[in-house]
Structures are given as structure tokens and as C-alpha cells.
């Protein structure tokens, strides 16, 4: 949603995202974030220094005990996706060279 308000000769826009939450005024928090971003501020200076580094916060979330298996599964998914694409490209090259029978032999090994 975009709210427009005329202030003097300038037109100000405030973008508000409303998300359902179990408490607090999420719309007001989102509006404040948009307002701060439009003024060139990227983080709230009243927060502790540990929250200023987005990467440190991201690593903190990843290394929590509940998230480690999920991260491990993500690594496995990426690995097997890479293996699948590698085999698909190899099979495409064999088909272009007219050696389709070798594809079946490779899969049966």
C-alpha cells in the first residue's frame, strides 16, 4: 500500500506493508523502516552493535542447534542438484555425438 500526503509543495509517499503477526504493530514498524531507508539510514543506531552486522546475525541464525540439520540438508540438495546437472550436460553431449547407447550403459553401472 502506498499512502500519499501533501506537505507544502512536496508530495510525500509512505509505503506500508501489513503482515499478520501475533502482536505489535507490524505496519508501523514496516513504515518506519521505509521512512528510514528513504532518508539514507540502513539500521537503527539505538540497537546493540551485534545487530548492526547483518552477516553476523545471519550466521548466528544458521548455527543455532535447530537449524544445523536444515543447513546440512540444503548443502545436500545443492550437491545433488549439481550432480544432476553435470550428468544431464554429459548426456546431452553424448546425444549430440550420436552415442545414445552409452547413456544407458552409464546409468546401469
Reading the block at residue 29, the C-alpha cell is 514498524
Q: Where are the domains of the chain?
A: 1-42, 49-109
* pLDDT tens for each residue of 35-80: 666 676 555 556 555 556 888 888 889 899 999 999 999 999 999 9
Read off φ and ψ for residue 65, nearest 5 degrees.
Answer: -55, -40
Measured over the CA atoms of residue 100, residue 94, residue 87 and residue 108, the dihedral's sign is positive
| Count of other CB atoms within 10 angstroms of residue 12 | 12
pTM score, whole prediction: 0.46
- Per cent of the chain over pLDDT 90 is 36
Better pLDDT: 71 or 28: 71
Specify which of 21-25, 28-32, 96-100 reaches the highest per-range mean pLDDT. Answer: 96-100
Amino acid at each position: 500500500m502506498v499512502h500519499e500526503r501533501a506537505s507544502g509543495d512536496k508530495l510525500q509517499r509512505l509505503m506500508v506493508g501489513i503482515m499478520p503477526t501475533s502482536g505489535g504493530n507490524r505496519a508501523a514498524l514496516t513504515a518506519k523502516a521505509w521512512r528510514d531507508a528513504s532518508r539514507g539510514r540502513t539500521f537503527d543506531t539505538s540497537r546493540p552493535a551485534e545487530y548492526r552486522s547483518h552477516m553476523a546475525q545471519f550466521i548466528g541464525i544458521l548455527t543455532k542447534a535447530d537449524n544445523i540439520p536444515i543447513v546440512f540438508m540444503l548443502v545436500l540438495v545443492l550437491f545433488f542438484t549439481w550432480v544432476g546437472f553435470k550428468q544431464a550436460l554429459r548426456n546431452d553431449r553424448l546425444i549430440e555425438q550420436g552415442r545414445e547407447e552409452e547413456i544407458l550403459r552409464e546409468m546401469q553401472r
